[in-house]
Structures are given as C-alpha cells and as structure tokens.
Structure 1
Amino acid sequence: MTRQRLATLLLSLCTAAGSATVLAEDNAAPNPNLKLATGEPVRCLSLNRIDETVVLDANNVLFYTGRNEVYLNDLPHRCLGLSRNKPIMYRTSLHQLCSVDIITVLESMGSSYMPGPSCGLGMFYPISKEDADKLRKESRK
C-alpha cells in the first residue's frame, strides 16, 4: 500500500471516529463556562483579529484578539481528541472564522503532524481576560 493511500485511509478512519463520537455526545449538559460571558455571543471573528488560540478541553476553546478581547467558543458537541496539549488547525474560504466552521486536531507523527478528529465550532462568547486566565489555569490541573 502506498503512503498516500495509507494516509488517506488513516484520515478517513480518524474523521469517522470523530463523527461517531459527536453523535454519541448530543445530550451533553449545558456548558458551565457560559456564565462567564460578558455580552451577547457572536457568530464570527475576523481572522486578522485572532492573535492566539488556546484549547482548554474537549468543549472549550479560547480565542484572543488584538483588541485585548477574549472569546470562549462553546463547541456544540464534545470533541474527543481535542486537548490543551494538541495543536489545532482551521480552514475557511472567508476572512472570518464562524460558528459553522470546522477545527481539526493535529496528531503528532514524529517530526510532522497528521489531521485527526474534526469538530464543529459553536458561538463565540466574549469573556474578560481575567476569567480567561482563570480558565487556562484550571485547565492545566
């Protein structure tokens, strides 16, 4: 089997496993971190505003912007494989990252990365930098 076929097969298996996981988690409890929201959620963030992305856990991702704002993204479904120790990537054809877009966990493969599970984003909730710092600290425990 060629490397390209093997990589395609592994990517298909990872994507299928991620999709099956999402279906199993449809009845999750409400996210307790949403009580930290300081305003109304937004559907999209401009890509040129995003300075840093921090994965807290399988349900929460922080997006820091150049305007010293922080947004908590509440994933609508638990994303198994998503953790603070793994990088993520996203692609969009627009100049915005929106609640309909997909993030992909990158799995370390020696000196390179391979796409792992993919998960849909949720709404972006503004939170204070202080609350974001507390969430980051708690996620390290």
Structure 2
Amino acid sequence: MIRLTLAALALGAATSSDTRDLDAALKDRTPGAPQNCLRGFGSQTQNPQIIDDHTLLYPDGSRIWRNDLPAACPGLDSNAILVTEVRSGQLCQNDQIYTLQRGGIGIPGPRCRLGMFTPYSKVKRAR
C-alpha cells in the first residue's frame, strides 16, 4: 500500500529557522520511549510536518511523534509531495519514503528510510 502525503507545512533544508520550528513544535513537551511503529496509522499521521531533510513530525491528537531519519533525505522541502510506502497496516521504522516535486515531471526523489518514532507529550503541571 502506498500513501501520498502532502507536506503542506514543509520547510526547507536544515537552518536555524528549522531548529526554531522544531523547538516551537515540541515546546512544553517531554519525549517518551522511542517505538518501532505508530499504531493505527491514519489520517492524523498522513500529513507530517517536514522540519528538515532528516526530521519529520507526525501530529496525533495531543501527542506529536518525532521521526529522525537515519540519514538525510534529499528533496524534503516545501515544494515536495511526500510519498510513504507502508508495507503493513502500521507506519514503521524502515518503511520507505520519497518525494515528488510539485509541478515537476513526476520523477521520484531518492528512497529514504524512516527511523524510530519518539512520542512527545504535553507536560502536566502540578496545581
């Protein structure tokens, strides 16, 4: 099964603004234990935010899943359409992604592997 993912919130190559965007997205959140797969891969995980060429964020209700690709993935930028190849009913480490450029001739970019998924949850403050 192949899913097309529009990277509407995509950003360009790694810059200090990417770091600021990542910091802002994960503000007031604490990381949990990394997992191999996202259970219930559905509409909420089909639109990841591209932070840079090796970091994706998958919103899931009040939680955000951070995926750090094991290697940089050329083509992850604001003009990309992200294509995710899901081999099982779950989005997992080592599933492959690639990009298509908007308005391009449809030549896919290089295939890249997903890394582990780290959940980031809001910190509950004591009253």
Q: Could you state the TM-score of these two structures normalised by the residue count of structure 1? A: 0.57
Cα pair distance change 1:125/1:84, threshold 3 Å? farther
Going from structure 1 to structure 2, the CA distance change for 1:94 and 1:47 (only over 3 Å counts) comes to same
- Of the two, which has the highest radius of gyration? 1
Quote the Cα distance in structure 1 between the aligned partners of 2:91 and 2:35: 11
Identity %: 34
Amino acid at match of 2:119: P
Residues 1:64 and 2:36 aligned together = no
Give the drift of 1:87: 2.0
> What amino acid maps onto 1:82 in structure 2?
L
Indicate the structure with greater strand content: 2
More helix by share: 1
Distance 1:42 1:72 in 2: 10
SS for the counterpart of 2:58 is strand
Number of aligned positions between the proteins: 96
Structure 1 alignment gaps of length 5 or more: 1-32, 131-141
Deviations along 1:48-93, one digit per CA (max 9) or x if unpaired, are 252531111001000112x321101000111122124422011223
CA displacement 1:6-43 (0-9 Å, x = unmatched): xxxxxxxxxxxxxxxxxxxxxxxxxxx8xx75210111
TM-score normalised according to structure 2 size: 0.63
Residues 30-45 of structure 1 aligned to structure 2 (within 5 Å): 38-45=31-38
CA RMSD in angstroms comes to: 2.8
Q: Contact 1:108 / 1:114 at 8 angstroms: preserved in 2? A: no
Give 3-state SS (helix, strand or coil) of 2:102's partner: strand
Gap runs ≥5 in structure 2:
1-22, 24-28
What is the identity, as a one-letter code, of the residue corresponding to 1:92? V
Segments ≥4 residues shifted beyond 3 Å? none
Alpha-carbon offset, residue 109 of structure 1: 3.8
Which residue of 1 is the match for residue 89 of structure 2?
A: 95
8 Å Cα contact 1:100/1:121 also seen in 2: yes
* 2:82/2:100 contact within 8 Å kept: yes
- The structural deviation recorded for 1:129 is 6.4
